[in-house]
A and B are shown apart, each in its own frame.
Chain A
């Protein structure tokens, strides 16, 4: 079987380090490779020795390809796509796996399209009961799981692997480091002129240290109802946090946002009130020790990660909680 290629990503803010999501993609590729009897190869793009190839090579891989070129320092989709086409074409991989990061979202559809191939995005697992395997991914905001297959022949199947679906620390290590091989790429300069990466404003609150977090979502309906959630947070001695739409609307400041574009937290108790549980929210909180979800929709995906679930109207349940906590403080 032709190899499975993993495109590793360097951290955008520390380009000498591997983005840990790359290891998750390696874990997924190893699982796929084992079933299909295909070797797994990783590729790293860099402008100069970054150390990322060695980080990959510690894992059980057939080899690590390193493309080094002055244009491969800071990311630009045009350059990445050209370089990757040059890497992928001679390798003829059966599948190409990438972590579902913002960077990959930016170029992978272009790369697959240019190669005449399809891209299955946000893959959470494989179904090996059929041949070729089927690729599982969420649809309808996580309300359903879909199975997809590729329709093209003679082109690789591209998949992006959902963040957190596979464990990076379970990527099998190799008995000895995998060989690192240089590949030559000759990309043309990008049409895009990309600036430095920056943070908007200094985070005023550090939610990562909070032992208890009460997080509120769009189920709260109106900003004036936030007082109810504030009261609950006070009664629990908790920090207040929110899903993205609450912060987008300006009802709470941005630095209280939990999720892929906000903070990642793992408190001992996380109460999600009126939050549906979109994957971009879950990645920011699913490491919490105990998760409670209060939601009126029994099918809300938040219940998939909750330890305790209350299906009900938050405007009934939260006042009841506050009353009990006042009688018998936490």
Chain B
């Protein structure tokens, strides 16, 4: 089974984020990591390859620094990587990003394309599904299990609301968007990190693919800190004072203790 995994580099979970002066994006002097569900998608792809054979290709769309997620993927066991490079990557909406990915993989045949269900930064929750539409492939979202189901078919478990699930079988090639927690992530080994240096990493430039923000179907017009809707009482002081004030409020004002 040949699998493509789309990995996005996003600001690290606990990176303090500041707005850029034009309020059009964040200041990029933060640490980055692989988008969480994408890491699970890579793990799912590696497990499928180990069980059933084939090849895993990792793809990212982003500036030069995004190559780091590819190096990690190669170190964990991906066979090759594709870097769709462009400084304007973060200005592309989900449609334009899916268009860029589609163009970058034109002519390459995959049985499965895995994406995360949502990116931690933009959070569109759309790129994988749009990719399926552009490729004319069936898709399923929020996937918690994948297994081959005979010739050119795959059976997956979809997560639904409130603890409900559903199995869905579809022909491949197919696009699946992966939910965090589908498996347990592996770490790269020293051996893997060494081997990664010799694995192929292809680069395609957004300009050459003809993808610019002019393809966007939605426009980000500005970012701001959220308005606080509730009057939160912040409790000052040392931890001990905070604890004491909290218990007093809960007993005397909120009457919940």
Contact = CB atoms under 8 A, between A and B. Distances in A.
B95 A320 contact: no
B235 interface: yes
B129 A109 contact: yes
A122 B123 contact: yes
B64 interface: no
A144 interface: yes
Contacts of A268: 256
Nearest to A244: B181
A4 B112 CA distance: 37
Contact of A149 (B140, B221, B244, B247): B221
A144 B19 CA distance: 9
B229 interface: yes
Given A78-B138, A140-B26, A143-B17, A312 B239 contact: yes
Interface string A287-304: 001101100010101011
Q: Is the interface of A mostly helix, strand, loop or mixed?
A: mixed
A149 B222 CA distance: 10
Chain B contact-residue range equals 35 or more
Contacts of B94: 109, 119
Chain A contact-residue range equals 35 or more
A314 to B, nearest CB: 9
Q: Is the interface of B mostly helix, strand, loop or mixed?
A: mixed
A194 B168 contact: yes
B107 to A, nearest CB: 22
A292 B122 contact: no
Nearest to A78: B138
B21 interface: no
Interface string A134-146: 1001111111111
A197 B164 CA distance: 6
Contacts of B161: 12, 101-102, 260-261
Contacts of A105: 117, 125, 129, 141-142
Contacts of B126: 108-109, 119, 121
Interface stretch (B41-49, B79-87, B191-199, B211-219): B211-219
Interface stretch (A36-44, A57-65, A110-118, A173-181): A110-118
Nearest to A279: B123
Given A109-B126, A109-B129, A118-B218, A139 B239 contact: no
Contacts of A134: 221
A330 B248 CA distance: 11
Contact of A292 (B123, B218, B250): B250
B221 A317 contact: no
Nearest to A259: B162
A290 to B, nearest CB: 4
B133 A109 contact: yes
A255 B133 CA distance: 35
Contact of B233 (A147, A193, A262, A309): A309
Interface string A224-236: 0000000000001
A108 B125 CA distance: 10
A310 B163 contact: no
A316 to B, nearest CB: 4
Contact of A248 (B121, B180, B221, B240): B180
Contacts of B242: 310, 312, 317, 320
Contacts of A188: none
A195 B166 contact: yes
Nearest to A304: B228
Given A192-B138, A200-B165, A306-B230, A145 B235 contact: no
B131 to A, nearest CB: 9
A304 B17 contact: no
A164 B173 CA distance: 36
11 contacts: A102-B142, A108-B129, A117-B217, A146-B220, A151-B219, A236-B257, A247-B181, A254-B163, A269-B256, A299-B225, A310-B235
Complex A-B, nearest 7 residue pairs according to Cβ-Cβ distance, in ascending order:
A118-B217, A248-B181, A320-B243, A316-B239, A109-B126, A109-B129, A195-B167
Given A113-B95, A262-B163, 13 more contacts: A77-B138, A106-B140, A139-B121, A143-B17, A147-B223, A197-B160, A245-B180, A245-B181, A305-B229, A317-B243, A320-B242, A323-B243, A324-B244
